[in-house]
Structure 1
Amino acid sequence: MLGSYEFLIQSRKEDIDFINKVVEAYEGAGVVRTVDPQKGLINIITTYDFKDFIKFVIEDLRKYDVVAEIIEEGAWKGSLYINK
């Protein structure tokens, strides 16, 4: 399937940088965008080919006491930020 896929993640603001570095380590698998740093909201944008892998990475972060709860996922809406 073509196109992009996104995850909206609820985290803690202190975990955002770590999550970003983990996703960056898997070069090309996804891009992290901070939606609201104070609330700990981030977007991870990926492709349909990598969506299951990124979901696994997000869920695996719990082993390291990182808060990363998927609160929404689906086809990328074409925006890097949530409309307020």
Structure 2
Amino acid sequence: MNKSYEFIIESRREDIDFINKIVEAYEGAGVVRTLDPLKGIISVISTYDFKDFMRDILIDLGKKWVKLEIIEEGIWKGKL
């Protein structure tokens, strides 16, 4: 299955850039899009094959480094 998978995340505004840099470091595993910079809402779009790997990265980030809560996840609806 080659569908894209999306995580909607709530974080702090000041953590968005750090989260983006970490996701970018895992080349090809995901792409970060800022949905609402004032509220700290971002989207991480990954492939379906990498969804579990990306979820683990995000959970680890939230436990150790930044405020991060996955508030929704599922098949990407195609909205950028």
Q: Same fold (TM over 0.5)?
A: yes
1:24 and 2:24 aligned: yes
RMSD over aligned CA atoms reads 0.6
CA deviations on 1:30-62 (whole Å, 9 max, x unpaired) are 000000000000000000111001100000012
Q: Distance in 2 between matches of 1:28 and 1:10?
A: 22
Q: How many residues align?
A: 79
Stretches of structure 1 lacking an aligned partner (at least 5 in a row)? none
TM-score (norm 1): 0.92
Q: Distance in 2 between matches of 1:67 and 1:58?
A: 10
TM-score (norm 2): 0.96
Q: After the TM superposition, which segments of 4 or more aligned residues of structure 1 sit over 3 Å from their partners?
A: none
Q: Distance in 2 between matches of 1:6 and 1:68?
A: 15
CA deviations on 1:11-42 (whole Å, 9 max, x unpaired) are 00000000000000000000000000000000
Whose helix fraction is larger, Structure 1's or Structure 2's?
2
